[in-house]
Structures are given as C-alpha cells and as structure tokens.
Structure 1
Amino acid sequence: MSLWLWADRTPFAELDALHRALAVPATTARTGFVPAAEVTRDGDDAVVRVELPGLDVEKDVTVEVDGDRLVVRGERRDERAEERRGHHVHELRYGAFQRSFTLPAHVRAEAVSASYDAGVLTVRIAGAYASGGAQKIAVSAGGAAPPAVEGGEAAEGGEAAEQHAA
C-alpha cells in the first residue's frame, strides 16, 4: 500500500485519512498480516512506528528507501507447540508483509534511521518537515520580473519591487 502526499501539503498529513479510508488493505488479502503503523511529527522529523511483536528484525525485517518511498517489509514466522488437556497442539502462523510510505522529495536515505524495541520498529526521517515552509516571493510592478539578486534569492519584503520601479 502506498500513501501519496502532495508537495503543497505537510509530509505524511494524509496518512490517517487514507489509512481509515481503506477498510481492508490489499496486502491483507494476500498475506493475512498487515502490521499496524502510525506516523507522527517530532519537530522537523517524521517518526514512523510499526508494530512487529515477536519478530527477529535482524533476520525477518527490511527497512529501505526506494526512490520516494520508505518501505518496511518482512516475514512473520511464529510456531508454537504445547499440550492442552492431553492433546498436542501445534500452531504455525506465517506471512510476508509490506508497508510503504511516500517520502517528501527532499528526503534522502541518509536521513533515515531505524531502531527496534519492545516489539515496535521506530523509523525516524530526519528533516522530513524542514523544507515544508513557505518561501516569500517578491512581486514587481509594471509586469516585468525583478532583477536577479546575488545568490539567486529574492529580496525580502518589497525591496525588489521598489528597486525595479525606480
């Protein structure tokens, strides 16, 4: 399942709405196992938490950046045997899973780190929200564009418009 974000929106802002809108994710039909996930904001960072209890993350889980997507995939293998009321009960649960999240365009793999503790995989995307701020653009009068300012940046406020009109 891939969750799409748009450049003019805050990263991961659509996650909750899209997650709720999809009653049964497509991977559920194939595997029967889709780990719960949440995305939160911590300052300029995005934090993705995926519930993966009982997994050996070193053997069974892969976290990667594939183009503009953060992909968490793996396989759950759980085998239990016990005696119940004089009967031997053997349970085997397994299945591959994949969760995918679209990243903001400026995020690189070097900005992503992951840790696992108490059954929860935590993936931190450093600076995911850092470049989401609005940038002020100078407006010139008379229909002509203002002259370029050294360094390629527009002047603050109305200075460029005043210089051009003078």
Structure 2
Amino acid sequence: MNRLFDRFNAAPLGAVHKVMPVLDIAETEDAVEITAEIPGVKPEDLDVSISDETLILKGQKSDEREDRSKDWHHVERSFGSFRRHVPLGFAPKDGKVDAKFEGGVLYLRISKPADVAGTARKIDVTGA
C-alpha cells in the first residue's frame, strides 16, 4: 500500500528533483573538515570552489532506468541539481584544500591560516 501512495506522491517522469547533499562539518585546530553525501552524482558533475570566505558546492544528478520485460518497455528519467554555500570565516591557508570523492561521498579538508587556527574561545552557558 505504501508503494502505491509513493507513486502518487512522486514527481512525473522527467521532472526535475531537488538534490540537497547532507553535510557533516567538523573543525579541528588547523582545518575545517566537510563530508557531503551526494549519492548518484559523478565526480565530473561536481563543481567545488571557494569564493572569498565561502565554500561553494554545485552539482547535478541525472538518472535513467529502463525495464524491458515481457510485454512492456518502461523508462524513467530524473534530473536534479544542487548548490550549497558554506561560510568558512577565512580563506584557506595558501589555497590548500584537499578533496576526495569516493562511493558518493565528498571529503574536503580546508586548511586554516595561522592567524585563524586556534582562535576559538569557550563560552560559559548557565541554566535558568
């Protein structure tokens, strides 16, 4: 029954779907590490850049499935694109960004400049 309702809620064939990668962001003393889950996207369809102090992730996904069974021929196509902006608060040290894409996951390590590294300070939070 759930599959039946999923079909009614699905976008029409060939529709453009919004693809939004899930991001995990961690900060170390000398870098910001970002992991983006982007299943179904090919490395050549990714565009990773840094403009001023902002990381920009852009990409697109296209999928085509075909089923040729006994009496029918069924084809589904879907397309989608995404664009994410992540404010860093600094420009990378010497432009150093390590990027790796494996199994639908993008791994980024963005080195902090010396004047930014280790500048975090603890904020005390009190209860009510």
Question: Taking structure 2 as the reference length, what is the TM-score of the superposition?
Answer: 0.68
Letter in 2 for 1:49: T
Q: 5+ residue gaps in structure 1?
A: 1-29, 135-166
Taking a change above 3 Å as real, the CA distance of residues 87 and 34 of structure 1, as seen in their structure-2 partners, is same
Relative distance call for 1:109 and 1:55 in structure 2 (3 A) is: farther
Tell me, what secondary structure is at the counterpart of 1:63? strand
Instruction: Indicate the structure whose relative CO is greater, using CA pairs within 8 Å and at least 6 residues apart.
Output: 2
Paired with 2:34 and 2:67, the residues of 1 have a C-alpha distance of: 36
Change over 3 Å in CA distance of 1:88–1:61 after alignment to 2:
same
Higher strand fraction (1 or 2): 2
**1:99 aligned residue:** 84
- More helix per residue: 1 or 2? 1
Corresponding residue for residue 49 of structure 1: 35
Identical aligned pairs, as a percentage?
Answer: 25
Structure 1 runs of 4+ aligned residues shifted over 6 Å read: none
Contact 1:65 1:109 survives alignment (8 Å):
no
Query: Contact 1:75/1:97 (CA < 8 Å) preserved in 2?
Result: yes
> 2:49 is matched with which residue?
64
Bigger Rg, structure 1 or 2: 1
Gaps of 5+ in 2: 1-15, 122-128
Partner of residue 124 from structure 1, selected from 97, 109, 117: 109
Aligned-residue offset at 1:119: 0.9
Partner of 1:71, secondary structure, is strand
TM-score, length-scaled by structure 1: 0.54
1:83 corresponds to which residue?
68
Q: How many residues align?
A: 104
